[in-house]
Amino acid sequence: MLPEQKFKYVPLLQGKSIAMIFEKRSTRTRMSTETGFSLLGGHPCFLTPQDIHLGINESTTDTARVLSGLADIVLARVYSHSSLELLDKDASIPIINGLSDLYHPVQILADLLTLQEHYGSLKGLTLAWIGDGNNVLHSFMMSLAKLGVNLKVATPKGYEPDANVTQEAQRLSKQFGTKLQFLTDPVEAARDSNVLVTDTWVSMGQEEEKKKRLKDFHGYQITMQAGSVAAPDWTFLHCLPRKAEEVDDEVFYSPRSLVFTEAENRKWTIMMSEPLSQKNALFTAMNRFI
């Protein structure tokens, strides 16, 4: 967490605009981007499918070309990752992934910063993901090995992460010499791990599967009992929003839970793309890799 008074904001983005396209709801991604961009002197424009023509009577290609002339950067939260790729192909300005069905990279930047601040160093930590093989996990899988972090993944059968992402994560863990394990037993994942992480069992767009998912994820809730086999310094992360079935109140509101610092760090990480503080070194390193 960076106390604001210690932080000198340089209006690097004065005169610049960011087009923020949100096909899905958001609290953190929207607020961190709007407030972060404004703090650096820029103008954020929040656009939902209810407000703009995209997807109704204007194609993604045409929208990408129009926004390239009107804004300086786009952050897009989309259902399908292919929509982001299409935007990226047809826009001449940078596109930031504000969450897709495949990845959530801006979340992981905040998570890594939170762990860096808490533990002082990331190298050698073991992170246990206990839950759904989803977009947030995929972004961890693409980044942790490069930062020297071991990863244990426990998912119920049928909810494993994407096969291509898994293959790339296995390649990265070999290259960087980290451990990577795929399990179905949450207790084994938690054992000796420093960081226990989960996310919703029902991601946005999966609402119709809710009943089945709640049944299939039975036994995956993070509790103090799960923490009892973890490393003595264990902490808890969750990107939020959170439901009690994934993690009980005792863990969620305990001092081991870093979730509110993690949420605040969304703001610092979204805007640290220029050398404003010493944390930029970490950000630059992560940004190169994700």
Residue from 60, 63, 135, 235 that binds ligand NVA (CB under 6 A)?
135
- Sign, CA torsion 29/30/33/39: negative
Q: Which stretch binds ligand NVA (CB under 6 A): 77-85, 90-98, 134-142, 268-276?
A: 134-142
Does residue 23 touch ligand NVA according to CB under 6 A? no
Contact 261, 117 (CB under 8 A): yes
Give residue number: closest CB to ligand NVA.
203
Q: How far apart are CA 10 and CA 227, in angstroms?
A: 42
DSSP 144: T
Q: Which does 27 bind (CB under 5 to 8 A by kind): ligand CP, ligand NVA, none?
A: ligand CP
Q: Which does 229 bind (CB under 5 to 8 A by kind): ligand NVA, ligand CP, none?
A: none
CA-to-CA distance for 185 and 26, rounded, in angstroms? 31
80 binds ligand CP (CB under 6 A): no
Q: Provide the 3-class DSSP secondary structure of residue 44.
A: strand
CA 74 to CA 52: how far, in whole Å? 14
* CA atoms of 86 and 141, how far apart (whole Å): 24
Among 20, 21, 23, 28, binds ligand CP (CB under 6 A): 28
Total number of residues shown for the chain: 290
How far is 221 from 242, CA to CA, in rounded Å? 12
Beta-carbon contacts of residue 231 (< 8 Å; ≥ 6 apart): 126, 192, 193, 194
Site map 224..263 versus ligand NVA, x via CB under 6 A: ---------------x------------------------
DSSP state for residue 160 in the 8-state scheme: P
The reply to whether 45 belongs to the active site is no
- CB atoms under 10 Å from CB of 190, counted, come to 23
**Residue 245 carries which DSSP code?**
T
Cα 290 from Cα 286, distance rounded (Å): 6
Contacted by 269, from ligand NVA, ligand CP, none: CB < 5 to 8 Å by type:
none
Interface of this chain with ligand NVA, residues 59 to 118, rule: CB under 6 A? 99, 104
Nearer Cβ to ligand NVA (25/174) = 25
Q: Mark the segment that binds ligand CP (CB under 6 A) among 27-35, 78-86, 123-131, 190-198.
A: 27-35
How far is it, in rounded angstroms, from Cα 260 to Cα 149? 22
Binding mask 161-200 for ligand NVA (x = CB under 6 A): --------------------------------------xx
User: Nearer to ligand NVA by C-beta: 151 or 276?
Assistant: 151
User: Of 242 and 256, which CB lies nearer to ligand NVA in the complex structure?
Assistant: 242
Tell me the two tokens of residue 15. 């005169």
Stretch that binds ligand CP, among 21-29, 158-166, 211-219, 269-277 (CB under 6 A): 21-29
One of 17, 134, 193, 194 touching ligand NVA (CB under 6 A) = 134
Catalytic residue (choose from 19, 237, 239, 247)? 239
- Across-strand partners of 222? 247
**Site residues (CB under 6 A) for ligand NVA?**
99, 104, 134-136, 199-200, 203-204, 239
Residues serving a catalytic function are: 239
List residues binding ligand CP (CB under 6 A): 26-29, 99, 107, 239-240
